[in-house]
Structure 1
Amino acid sequence: MSELEAAILLAGAGMALSVIMAVAWRVQQSTGQSGWIDTIWSFSVGTVGAALALWPGEDGLSLRQILVAALAAAWSLRLGASIARRTIKGGEDPRYAALYEQWGENYSRRLFWFLQIQAAAAFVLVATIAVAAHNPVTELRLADMAGAFVLAIAILGERLADNQLRDFRSNPANRGKVCETGLWAYSRHPNYFFEWLGWCAYPFFGINADLTYPIGFATLAGPVFMYWLLVHVSGIPLLEAHMLRSRGAQFEAYRSRVNAFFPGVRKGARS
């Protein structure tokens, strides 16, 4: 693939993501449910990322392209379907509810541009997938197998965390309580941790030990960018602010015992 062709493909991907998130804004305005935003975002990253991954090179499709595209699609389908199921059941995402309170009558207009920023964030991740898939080394390496293993573990781990939280919330006896079972006893956000871990897989596909594919180091942008988003921007800060408002001292005690992101040894006995 020439540099010009790559630039055209990436520009097309950026425009497609912008349009898709404009559609997501319209869906939210029509339904009043912000969960559809994250559903559409998840599907768009997987769809556009897989499409770029599968774009044929000079020698046709490589096994790495097919593997990366399949893994990206599997991640996208699982995450998007999970959010969609939760959205269908009703309820507003507390992060968007906080933005609604903050923006007031300007919510609709500011949400539109906020979703365009999400489109830009999606572009970084889509580019990560594309760069990883188009590593010119023809044969699959041990590094590729390691990347596939890491991403599979991430998908399964995030699914387990989501299922544990869903089962906890489905029990009426747990209404108003903080989930502290399973993975949630060792990380306050194990779903976010495994989401980040999945993006750590792409450097395995993209970086060559002999440095023959320098652009492969761009795949490091995926995990670095996702960590920043989840830990410092739109993930943990907004969600924990909501939990402190709704659960108060109970969540504060949980926060004192359990790591925020990386699973680790608990700091004290459960009260």
Structure 2
Amino acid sequence: MNKTGSIVRVGIAYVLAFAAGGAWLAWGPATSSLLLDGLIADLIATLVVFAASRIYRNSSFYDAYWSVLPPLLMVAWWVEIGSGGDRARSWLVLGVIVFWSIRLTGNWLYAFPGLHHEDWRYAMIRDRAGRAEILADLFGIHVVPTLQVFAGMLPVYAVLANTDRPLGALDILASVIGIGAVLLSFFADLQMYRFVARRTPGQAMDQGLWSWSRHPNYFGEFAFWCALAFFGLSAAPQDWWWVVLGAIAMFAMFQGASIPMMEQRSLERRPAYQQVIDCIPRFVPRPPRRRNSLADNALQD
């Protein structure tokens, strides 16, 4: 299946998913909490995407859901909460989220080759689960990431629900971090694409932003969710204990799952990557221990 046809199918699945979630919000039995209503709608939409993943035997159907859902969820909450009070912070948060969403979804559109391809991590997760592969697919690949993103959106709900505090220094800091995080991820991905296009077999990336961190794109993604947490703290400092849960969950995901899986695969495919590990920080960017290019000493696969 070519790329265009694949994107159309993914797009149709998302339209159906968001329609199902929106129908729940509009006509489903409301709970006593708008936050819980949003979570149920989010999970319903996730189940529709999961169904499409099973039909096409490709869990990469879920990939863009991560970046498309947040602005829609914020708008849905905003409509339900209403427009009372000072909404300057809400517009600022929405702008940062939309900027992030466009960047990350655009990255997916650029890199997605089509439904003939599936992220290698998904097959590995299902294979490790054996007979329980459908549960691993449902929860490990679809539901758990949805819950992580929803946790990351908790400070956005706090911003919408608390409009009595004026903009302050923390909002400015959050805006700078959010925009900077998006730009960091953009340039990190751009540098990696250019490197992959011209690398030799076995060559390990250690240039540009990747000479300051082994995973600058992941750090940028984590920083974005921290920015949302700062917005939430500015709007509702009394709720600090739950508005930071999403950022903590993202950090745990990157450190406990994403980075170990990527590094193990890199070591298996490019032994020279061990030199990168020895000299370049794992996550938080800082100057490398030495400046000469590790790629010049790369080993062959």
The TM-score normalised by the length of structure 1 is 0.85
Tell me what 1:181 maps to.
207
State which of 68, 72, 80 in structure 2 corresponds to 1:43: 68
Deviation at 1:151, TM superposition (A): 0.3
Tell me what 2:97 maps to.
72
Tell me what 1:135 maps to.
162
User: Is the contact between residue 204 and residue 273 of structure 2 (CA under 8 Å) also seen in structure 1?
Assistant: yes
State which of 153, 166, 169 in structure 1 corresponds to 2:196: 169
Q: Tell me the number of residue pairs that the alignment of Structure 1 and Structure 2 aligns.
A: 262
Change (3 A) 1:159 1:46: same
Deviation at 1:126, TM superposition (A): 1.9
Are residue 256 (structure 1) and residue 278 (structure 2) matched? Answer: yes
CA distance in 1, matches of 2:31, 2:170: 24
Tell me what 1:59 maps to.
84
| Over 6 Å off, 4+ runs | none
Change (3 A) 1:68 1:157: same
Tell me what 2:146 maps to.
119
State which of 256, 263, 288 in structure 2 corresponds to 1:240: 263
Tell me what 1:86 maps to.
111
Tell me what 1:226 maps to.
250
Deviation at 1:64, TM superposition (A): 0.9
User: Is the contact between residue 133 and residue 206 of structure 1 (CA under 8 Å) also seen in structure 2?
Assistant: no
User: Is the contact between residue 174 and residue 227 of structure 2 (CA under 8 Å) also seen in structure 1?
Assistant: yes
Change (3 A) 1:222 1:58: same
CA distance in 2, matches of 1:51, 1:140: 23
Deviation at 1:135, TM superposition (A): 3.4
Change (3 A) 1:254 1:213: closer
User: What percent of counterpart residues are identical?
Assistant: 23
CA distance in 1, matches of 2:127, 2:90: 44
CA distance in 1, matches of 2:86, 2:51: 36
Superposed CA RMSD in Å reads 2.6
Which secondary structure does the structure 2 equivalent of 1:178 belong to? coil
Deviation at 1:53, TM superposition (A): 4.8
The residue type paired with residue 84 of structure 1 is: L
Change (3 A) 1:184 1:196: same
CA distance in 2, matches of 1:245, 1:30: 32
User: Is the contact between residue 187 and residue 264 of structure 1 (CA under 8 Å) also seen in structure 2?
Assistant: yes
Deviation at 1:255, TM superposition (A): 1.1
